[in-house]
Amino acid sequence: MNRTCYRVFVLIVLVATTLIARAARAQDPLPSWNDTAAKKAIVDFVAKVTKEGSPDFVKPEDRIATFDNDGTMWVEQPIYTQVEFAMQRVPAAVKEHPELADNEVFKAILSRDREAIAKFTLGDIEKIVAVTHSGMTVEQFKQIVKDWLDRAEQPRFKKPYTQCIYQPMLELMQYLRASGFKTYIVTGGGQDFVRAFAQKTYGVPGDQVIGTAGKVKYQYKDGKAELIKLPEVLLIDDKTGKPEGINLVIGQRPIAAFGNSTGDQQMLEYTGAGSGARLMMLVHHDDAVREYAYGQDSKIGTFSNALMDEAKSKGWTVISMKDDWKTIFPWEK
């Protein structure tokens, strides 16, 4: 074989190899997942419930999948994104309500007293959220959230929060939708907050977001009807509140549910009806190099030993970020 023919041969081999690799990727709906038991559980489940004639076949209208958001779809460390948003909104809130400047909680934020902020209780956080998430129309709040997300960055990765999403979970959502599922976000975070970015970030429309909801007040301004956000809670969509929110909005049990913490336990327990196939999965944050490692002792995204024991006893799949995911974030592709 002369040199010219050899070069042509090598070129043909390289092109063929590239095409084969591309075809393989196109056939794999979960390319960011390693070929482990977790990926197999997903693929096997989808095959069972979508194959007509299968004893586990589920009609498309009953293919409901629910996903937690914080820690399941995007980064929740070192602090929940919405809490960071609320704290950054404090100066504007104090300017509008000067009396808040004498409150110890708001004073700590204004003075950037990290030691005091680290000691905030759940009640303190709720107070901050109530003040910073009310007094405007639903549409105004949505725009405020969008504007903040456009400029805010996750402190470790120095990228917008909406880019700090988990590529494997995004692929899972897309795979389920391509298989006739309707995918819902069911989050302990604020419903209006998540609705501001869910469509663009996850492909989940606002009416498929269930979250902690505040009360609103209907009123008229200049002859125009509007809804004003009030500093009062309507539904806390966490723990037992998740099945309650699912029933309120969806009206039926999901057959697949995905979470990462004790706050998602009841949602997974509520999944499925009868003896049909169902899939329950928990993301375990065990990769300190590429993301974070935390569990039993974390105040954020607590993955208790009791939850791990329940997952093992009930056959839930625990996803290891370290072992089951080839890549974690979209920018790693």
Average pLDDT score over residue span 31-48 = 98
Q: Is 160 helix (H, G, I), strand (E, B) or coil?
A: strand
What is the count of structural domains for the chain? 2
Q: DSSP state, 222? A: T
My answer on whether 189 and 306 are in the same domain is yes
Residue 168 has pLDDT above 90, yes or no: yes
My answer on whether 41 and 65 are in the same domain is yes
Is residue 134, in this structure, part of any structural domain at all? no
Total-model pTM = 0.90
Which domain, by its residues, includes 301?
31-78+165-213+235-332
Nearest to 262 by CA among 241, 245, 248: 241
My answer on whether 280 and 193 are in the same domain is yes
My answer on whether 197 and 72 are in the same domain is yes
When pLDDT is cut at 50, 70 and 90, the band that residue 114 belongs to is confident
- Mean pLDDT score across all residues of the chain: 92
User: Which residues contact residue 146 at a Cβ distance below 8 angstroms, ignoring those fewer than 6 apart?
Assistant: 196, 197
CB-count burial class (<10 Å; 0-12, 13-18, 19+) for 96: exposed
